[in-house]
Amino acid sequence: MNDLLRAIILGVVEGLTEFLPVSSTGHMILVMPWIGIDYRADVFWNDVFNFFIQSGAILAVVLYFWRRLWRLTFHPPASGWREHILVKLAVAMLPAAVLGVLLDDFMKAHLMTEPVVAAALILGGAAILAIERFAGPGRHADAGTIPLRVAFLIGLIQCLAMVPGTSRSGATIMGALALGMTPAAAAEFSFFLSIPTLVGASLLSVVKGDVQPQQVELLAAGFITSFVVAWVVVAAFMRFIRTHRFTGFAIYRILVGAAVLAGMAWSRPAAG
C-alpha cells in the first residue's frame, strides 16, 4: 500500500470519528497497524499527520456552522463581555491548552498504545450509559447562553480526552449533558470548542514536526479527505441527536475496546 492511499484512509477515519463520541485518535492508533504504519516509531504519521488533518475536520465545522457562529460573534444574545461566546470558548479552551503544552511529549511517549485506547473506550462507553441514565432533561438549550462557569467546567472535562480512546467530543458532550445542557446544545458547544482546541493542536504538531517536501502531498490528501467526510458526519450527527440517544455509541465503544483486549490476549505468546 502506498503512502497516498494510507493518507486517504486515515483522512476518512479522522472525518468519521472526530466529532462522534468514539475517539478519533484511538481509532487512528487501532487502524494504523492494519495499513502498515508503526505508530510507535513513525514520527511523521503519529506526531504530525494525525494531528494536522484534524484541521480539515475543523474547517468542516466552521463552514457548517458559519451562520450560527457569525450571529453569536457579532450579534450575541446577551450583553456584557463575560457572556460573549468567544470569551466562553477561550475560558473553556484554557485548561487543555496549558496541559497540552506541558504533557504533549509524555502523552505521545506513554499513552499512545492499544491497551490504553481499549481501556478508555470501555470506560468511556460505561460513562455514556451512566450519564444518559442519570442526567436531567437539560436547562441550557442554547450553546450561546450557557454560564461562563459551565463553559470552564466543560473545558476541564475536555482534558480527559488527552488520554487516547476517551474522545474529545464524547467527553465534552457528555460533560455538558451532566452540567445541564440539552443534547443539541451540548453537541453544538462541543463543536465550537473543537475549533480553537484542535487548530492549536494541529499547529503545534507542524511546528514541532520536521515536515519534508514530499510529505506535503500526504498532509494535503488527509486534510481534504477529513474535511469532506467530517462535513457529512457533522450534518448527520446534528440531525441524529435531536431524536436519538447516545446508547449506540456507548455499546460500540465497549465492543471495540473488548475486541481489542481479546485480540491482544489471543495473540500474546503462551508463557513457558
Over residues 16-54, the pLDDT tens digits come to 999 999 999 899 999 999 999 987 777 788 778 888 898
In residues, how long is the chain? Answer: 272
Percentage, residues of the chain above pLDDT 70: 96
Nearest to 56 by CA among 8, 105, 6, 111: 8
Quick check: pTM over 0.85? yes
- How confident is the model over 185-220, as pLDDT tens digits? 999 999 999 988 777 777 766 666 667 778 889 999
Note the pLDDT tens digit of each residue in 128-178: 999 998 888 888 999 999 999 999 999 999 999 989 999 999 999 999 999
In this structure, how many other beta carbons lie within 10 angstroms of the beta carbon of residue 46? 21
Residue 261 reports pLDDT greater than 50: yes
Confidence of residue 240 (pLDDT cuts 50, 70, 90): very high
pLDDT for the residue 190: 94
CA dist., res. 47 & res. 174, Å (int): 27
Cβ proximity of 165 and 26 under 8 Å:
yes
In which region does residue 146 sit, left (phi positive, over 0), alpha (psi from -120 to 50) or beta (all else)?
beta
Q: What is the pLDDT of residue 270?
A: 53
Q: Which three cell numbers stand for residue 111?
A: 499513552
At 174, list the grid cell.
457528555
CA–CA distances in Å: residue 169 to residues 42, 197, 212, 256, 258: 26, 11, 31, 18, 21
The sign one gets for the Cα dihedral 65, 70, 72, 75 is negative
Mean pLDDT of the chain: 89
Higher-confidence residue of 146 and 81: namely 146
CB 164 within 8 A of CB 120: yes
Helix (H, G, I), strand (E, B) or coil at 15: helix
pLDDT above 50 (res 272)? no
Q: Write down the pLDDT at residue 235.
A: 94
Residue 82 confidence class, pLDDT cut points 50, 70, 90: confident
